[in-house]
Structure 1
Amino acid sequence: MKYLRILILIAVCSPAAAAELLRHDLNFRYPDYAVRDTDTIIRKQSLSAGINYGSDAMFFGRVGLIKYPYFSADVVYNFKSGFFVYGSALRLIGYNTSVDEVDVGGGYLYRPSKRFSGALSYNRFIFNKEERIIESATSNDVNWKNAYDWGPIKSTVTLDYLFGKSSDFFMTVTHSKYFETKGNIFDDKDYLSFNPGFSFIIGTQNFVQRYSVDHQVRLNSINIYRFGTSTDFNNGRLNMLNYSFKLPIAYNRPHYTFELAYKYSIPVNVEGALQNKHESFINASFFYVFY
């Protein structure tokens, strides 16, 4: 824990951070399904509804050996007090199931100063009986996220404790730069926004072992399971898991946003049956906000 505190201090105190804590930058479910990195904070009671597309389902820097593109629908209700609740449904593309995952959760947004803001939330994941994606190795997430605006860029540190069939701890550190166009695109009410960023994830990966055990028959059938027990893997050890670069570009109007994002992921210290490699991801999302 001493080394973990040092890492957090280095991450927070490095010269980073840009605009405000973004509502959808809270990553209600988990970092790699989060949408609308270029959104602006909602300061009033509001209801947001959106649809999203992802080229593959990633979970804390890890993907399955079968590619799982997906669609999801999200609803978020923000209270004036800072509390929020949300619900989400995810469907994998290419399968007969109508819904593969349902997420529900809630939390509290806080801003003790103009530069510092954060959120604390709890998230519950519910899967159908197939449990195809890696996230199915767990079912609960306690998420604590804090962001500091240094001026030139923004630094964000997110701590996640996940528990269920497996238990894991993660720290995600992101340095990003938010900016938007000064001129109008089609009229005086729209603009483009950008939020390029670099992230790294430190954590345990007991979920890899749990997923491998749950899906051993499926992995064996395509010859991607590591047989034998004489491995030196220690999935409970705190390790660097992933580096990634992301470029979200969004078209914004007063009540809605369309965003397209490219992400390049570099997994490291891959353990167990899931042999991850460098991968590119494309995400698209559309959100409408009702005030």
Structure 2
Amino acid sequence: MRSVFLLFLLGAAFMKVQAQQDSTSKTTITVATLYSSNVSYYGQVTNEKLPYILANVSLRFPVGFYLSAGSYKLLNYGSGLSETDIGGGFDFDFNDRLIAGIAYTRSFFPANSPLLQASNENNVNLSAGYTWNWLESSLSADYAFGEQNDVFLSLTNSKEINIGYLFNERNTLSIEPAIELSAGTRHFYQTYIIEKGKRDQANGIIKKPDSPGNPNSANTIAISSNSFDLLSYNFKLPLSLSRANYIAEISYQLSILGPKAETELKNQQSIFGLAFYYQL
């Protein structure tokens, strides 16, 4: 799972609720539960479908500092938790249009994790967002490190559109279509391939060794992982129902991989999600 993306979702939900409550002078707690039909790491999805559920809590102080902790559970893999994250960050509003932030997340994975990002246990994120007259733009830079080291850059343009009210004026319906471009390095993929091979052997799935000219060979992976390339195009369409202190959301995401995608990853993937955010 992409931990920084969750922090972004929590931040977006927080700002929506804050806009309705107008209570920026108090400390707040946001509790979130999410379901997703598959794991996406910067738009990249493995051939193995991995639906999951998530529980997260975030504590935010009036000065802009926040702390967050959450746990993921893959629904079709293993019996214990699949990932646990703890993190914190700071957001600064320069004015009504420009916001910038910095965040750090530490992730804990079980042995032989099937997740693409399992070798990058740490993530430092720098982000900036600007609200134009007709859309919102955000630029996010991530440095993921641990057993491997990777750099990612994501550019997102979105537009929130109010549809109307459900039952009464306190229940607002809105959609926020977004287009995201993600680019980065692929060192994490080397570890994923190695661990996948170990899991296949343990399960009795024996593959022939790669030939020297095979595009999936370790040498080819090592070379390609050092380059900074376009990873994915992501098209997102969330439908939200918001009230004074909660947001319920249904979302759809279409991810299309860049031209240099690895063969173990799906070139195109549709992901459906459900989420609920409640602010105390």
Sort the Cα spacing of 1:262 and 1:38 in 2 relative to 1 into closer, same or farther, 3 A.
farther
**Correspondence 1:133 to 2:115:** yes
**Unaligned ranges ≥5, structure 1:** 1-26
Sort the Cα spacing of 1:229 and 1:170 in 2 relative to 1 into closer, same or farther, 3 A.
farther
- Helix, strand or coil at the partner of 2:4: coil
1:58 CA drift (Å): 1.0
1:269 CA drift (Å): 3.4
**Correspondence 1:58 to 2:40:** yes
Sort the Cα spacing of 1:111 and 1:224 in 2 relative to 1 into closer, same or farther, 3 A.
farther
Sort the Cα spacing of 1:115 and 1:94 in 2 relative to 1 into closer, same or farther, 3 A.
same
On the 8 A contact 2:128/2:140 being kept in 1, the answer is yes
What one-letter code is carried by the residue in structure 2 that aligns with 1:207? F
The answer for the alignment partner of 1:198 in structure 2 is: 179
Distance 2:267 2:209 in 1: 16
What one-letter code is carried by the residue in structure 1 that aligns with 2:180? S
The answer for the alignment partner of 1:68 in structure 2 is: 50
The answer for the alignment partner of 1:162 in structure 2 is: 144
Sort the Cα spacing of 1:197 and 1:271 in 2 relative to 1 into closer, same or farther, 3 A.
closer
Distance 1:225 1:270 in 2: 24
What one-letter code is carried by the residue in structure 2 that aligns with 1:79? F
**Correspondence 1:98 to 2:80:** yes
TM-score of the superposition, structure 2-length normalised? 0.86
What one-letter code is carried by the residue in structure 2 that aligns with 1:257? I
On the 8 A contact 2:14/2:279 being kept in 1, the answer is no
Sort the Cα spacing of 1:214 and 1:28 in 2 relative to 1 into closer, same or farther, 3 A.
closer
The answer for the alignment partner of 1:262 in structure 2 is: 252
**Correspondence 1:214 to 2:195:** yes
The answer for the alignment partner of 1:4 in structure 2 is: none
Sort the Cα spacing of 1:73 and 1:131 in 2 relative to 1 into closer, same or farther, 3 A.
same
Distance 1:261 1:222 in 2: 35
On the 8 A contact 1:168/1:205 being kept in 2, the answer is yes
On the 8 A contact 1:208/1:274 being kept in 2, the answer is no
Distance 2:140 2:211 in 1: 35
1:214 CA drift (Å): 2.1
On the 8 A contact 1:235/1:271 being kept in 2, the answer is no
TM-score of the superposition, structure 1-length normalised? 0.83
Correspondent of 2:235 among 245, 249, 255 = 245
On the 8 A contact 1:86/1:104 being kept in 2, the answer is yes
Task: Using the TM superposition, name which of 258-267 and 269-278 deviates more.
Answer: 269-278
1:218 CA drift (Å): 2.9
1:140-171 CA distance string (max 9 Å, x none):
00001111111101111000000011110000
1:126 CA drift (Å): 0.3
RMSD, aligned CA: 2.4
Sort the Cα spacing of 1:123 and 1:174 in 2 relative to 1 into closer, same or farther, 3 A.
same
The answer for the alignment partner of 1:49 in structure 2 is: 31
What one-letter code is carried by the residue in structure 1 that aligns with 2:181? F
Q: What's the % identity of the aligned pairs?
A: 25
1:188 CA drift (Å): 2.7
